[in-house]
Structure formats: C-alpha cells, structure tokens
A = this chain, B = another copy of it.
Amino acid sequence: MVLTLSIVVCMNTRIMDKFQIENYIAQLSIDCVIFGYKDKQLKVLISKLSFGDNLWSLPGGYILNTESIDDAASRILKDRTGLDNIYLEQFKAFGGKDRIVDSEYRDLVRSGLRKFDSERFNDEVIDWVTGRFVCIGYYALVDLNKVEPKIGEFEEFLKWKCIEELPKLTHDHNEIVASAHQALRQNLDEKLIGFNLLPETFTMREVKELYEAVHDKEFSMNNFQKKILGLNVLDRLGKKFTGAQNRAPFLYKFKK
C-alpha cells in the first residue's frame, strides 16, 4: 500500500513519465507524516485513494538510486506540497514482516494501475510495488496555509485531518502517525521546531495553543510566556489589534 501511493506521487511529476523500477531501491519506501496546525488542532495530511472504498494513506514514495534518503523525502514532500525547505526529520524505520499487501488489495492495485497504463504497469511492476516493503518514516512541519496539496491520478483528494480523528489508514500507517506524534512531542521542547507550524508572525497565545494541541494538555499563560521568552529565540514586533475589547497582544517572530 505504501507503494501504490508512491506511484501516484510519481504520476504528478516529471518522474512519472519515466518511472522505471530499476531506478529505485526495491522494497524500501519513505512515508511522510506531514503535520500542520489550524483551529487549535494538530493536523496530518492524508490522501484518499481511489482504488477502493475508504482507503486512506500517508503520502510516500520511493528512493532513487542517485539520491540520499533525505533527498528522497524532500523530493516527495516538494511534489506533495509544492514547498521547499520544509522542516523534516527522520524518526523511525518500520520493517514488520507483514508489511506486504494482501491478495485482495493486490488485485485492486493491479486493476487500478492496468486501467491507467497496462503497458507500463506490467506484471513485473505490479510485483515490485506490492511486495514486502520496509519504510523509513519522516515527519514534516509545515505552515498549513502555505500548502496547496497536489492531487494525484489515483487519489480522490488530499485532506488535513485532526490527528485525534484519523480514519483507519492502510497498512500500519496509523502506527506510523502515532510514532511520529511521539517524536514530535519529544522534539518540540528539546529542539525549537514548533514555530515551523505557525505563520511568520504569531501571538504568544497561539504558541501556547500549539503546544497544548501537540501535548494534549493545558499550560498556564503567564508561566508559558516566561518560559518561551526565556529561551530568547523570539523577536517582539508590534501589537496585533484585533478589534476585541481587550489589550492588544504582541506579535512575535522566530529569530533565525
């Protein structure tokens, strides 16, 4: 399943036109957990596949023999989101022996791909994409408002879903998301990566609410503010006048 989606990705791009299995590492894929933040909720970008009913999956792809795995992840993300220089982190490799598509799904893939191009997607290719795969998980942090997701040939649509309300994803992708979430929580405090999820400028309250969404727990405003300001990584800009009948909050910007 990891695989089928990757084919979709390829179809979006120049690479699609010359997709040849011999250019890629076999049995190894990359899956991306793309985190975004909106409406006080942590979101993940997932794609609805058109092969069958209710098939959801993480964006993923394969690794060219001529690129590093980090480059492959960047490329896959660029194809998906149109964005360069995305914050990206490898967090775990998944290699259960059962990471292989079952015969039912294999038939779906076969007919789906054949319908698209029976010449290119011959038996060899079908075998290639439906075999046993190990995947390397990356998570990405993006400003959700900057992303314009690219829809592929075998997808109905891409959707930002709240991490708490994800549907059943193909394969072990739910587990991969859970693992990415855990890695994000840990790194959010150690490295200062949360700001990648926010727009250029933001209020302290927005930072707090982001942290609350990621950790699923509340923080007190003043102590949180002291802690974040104490890190000395924010520049204070002007004030943000919202029209609300209260004191205007400061806007901040992440020091780079």
Cross-chain contact B90 with A70 (CB below 8 angstroms)? no
Kindly report how many copies of this chain are found in the complex they form together.
Answer: 2
Question: Which of A27, A70, A72 has the most CB atoms of chain B within a 10 A radius of its CB?
Answer: A27
The answer to whether A2 has its CB under 8 Å from any CB of chain B is: no
Across the interface, do B26 and A63 meet the contact criterion of CB distance under 8 Å? Answer: no
**Is chain A's interface secondary structure helix, strand, loop, or mixed overall?**
mixed
| CA of A165 to CA of B121, assembled, Å | 52
- A132→B92 CA distance, assembly (Å): 21
* Cβ-neighbour of A97 out of B27, B28, B71, B92 (below 8 A): B71
Q: In the bound complex, what is the Cα–Cα distance between A131 and B68 (angstroms)?
A: 14
Q: Is A134 an interface residue (CB 8 A)?
A: yes
Contact of A25 with B132 at beta-carbon distance under 8 Å, contacts A71-B97, A95-B63 already known: yes
Establish whether residues B96 and A93, one from each chain, have CB atoms under 8 Å apart when the complex forms. no
- Chain B, residue nearest A96 (CB): B68
Q: Mark A46-73, 1 if CB is under 8 A from B, else 0.
A: 0000000000000000010111111110
- Give which listed residue, B71, B90, B95, B134, contacts A92 with CB less than 8 A: B90
A70 to B134, CA, bound (A): 11
A129 shortest CB reach to chain B, Å: 15
Given contacts A93-B90, A95-B63, contact A134 B71 (CB under 8 A): no
